[in-house]
Amino acid sequence: MSQVPTGETIERAVRLAGRAPSLHNSQPWHWVFDGTVLRLHSDRTRLLPSTDTSGRQLLISCGVALGHLRAALAAAGWRAQVAYFPNPTQRDHLATVRFLPAHIVTDADRDRAAAIERRRTDRLPFETPVGWQDFETVLRTVVDPDDAVLTVLPDTARAALAHASLITASLRRYDAAYQAELQWWAGHSHAAEGIPASALISREERERVSVGRTLPTVSGDSRRTEVADDRSSILVLSTTADTPEELVRCGEALSTVLLECTAAGYATCPLTNMTELPHGRAIVRDLVGGRVVPQVLVRAGTRPDTAPPPAATPRRPLPDILEIIEPEQLR
């Protein structure tokens, strides 16, 4: 059996990897397939320097795409063997993926890959997630502790998180560079990147979600009015430090959390507003016990039966994110 998937399988897996969430839908990834290995590079032209000053979220976003790629390959009968930062002189070369045929494809593999296209960032309020205790037990077994530390915060943490969200938004209120970046990336309707207006919420809706980033608001009839206040479970993914490899792997853990939640029928919203500035990050760090470095939070909950999920957000076309090097170019 061939040890390399067909070009068609690679294209499908990279297209699904491209459905990964990323900071403000910036999609900062670039893949190169040479017929033998697949390389993941970060695209630093897509860094948001005023929001993501150190490039931490760029690496997390690329890690989510890598996690989605693993899920897509698993459903196609391949295991990905990943070498992180294989070239110390090229820091934008985040990973090289080699392939091993998998002996079996399980229903869980298929469910996780199918969740890629169904997952959305949902910024509206959620009901208390039904059946959460059992789900959390399972989730703890599927997040690799070498990738990230998973903490599920108690409901009593919500007030401190609301405070972290508020103080961060207040500190950024007059940060012209941050605000300009936000306005540029949020509210487009005809672009292949950024957060479209359909994914934003109104001022009234935001009042029902105390933990979240203050994004530009939209007008219109209030949605999900049956949920008076967000009752989501809030998860945190942390690492021991901010090293590049830990950040990419934290992104992979985020991919796992989001896809498992989606497969189980929960709605999700990743959040990093509380970990971007030292003040908010210290609040979250205290909540997770003080020994680890919080990277990203996730709101997870139940969408009311009658509430439609948000529309899919756009993505850059495949040729923009995947470069295929023909064998003769390698000679």
Q: Does 172 engage in binding with ligand FMN (CB under 6 A)?
A: no
Q: Which of 121, 165, 168, 239 binds ligand FMN (CB under 6 A)?
A: 121
CB within 8 Å of 235: residues ≥ 6 apart: 150, 151, 152, 153, 257, 297, 298, 300
Residues numbered 181 to 240 that lie near ligand FMN (CB under 6 A) are: 195, 199, 212-213
Of the two residues 96 and 272, which places its CB atom closer to ligand FMN in the complex?
272
Q: Does 116 engage in binding with ligand FMN (CB under 6 A)?
A: no
Q: Does 298 engage in binding with ligand FMN (CB under 6 A)?
A: no
Contact predicate 201/208, CB 8 Å: no
CA distances from 175 to 55, 182, 202 (A): 18, 11, 22
105, exposed or middle or buried, with CB in 10 Å at 0-12, 13-18, 19+?
middle
Q: What is the DSSP string of 12-62?
A: HHHHHHTTS--GGG---EEEEE-SS-EEEEE-GGG--TTTSTTSHHHHHHH
**Closest residue to ligand FMN using C-beta atoms:** 21
Binding flags for ligand FMN, 53-72, as an x/- string (CB under 6 A): ----x--xx--x--------
Give the count of alpha carbons within 13 A of 9, CB side only: 22
Rounded to whole angstroms, the Cα distance separating 30 from 25 reads: 14
Of the two residues 4 and 169, which places its CB atom closer to ligand FMN in the complex?
169
Q: Which of 116, 148, 227, 271 binds ligand FMN (CB under 6 A)?
A: 271
Of the two residues 177 and 192, which places its CB atom closer to ligand FMN in the complex?
192
Binding flags for ligand FMN, 10-49, as an x/- string (CB under 6 A): -----------xxxxx------------------------
* Chain contacts with ligand FMN (rule: CB under 6 A): 21-25, 57, 60-61, 64, 120-121, 123, 195, 199, 212-213, 269-273, 296, 313
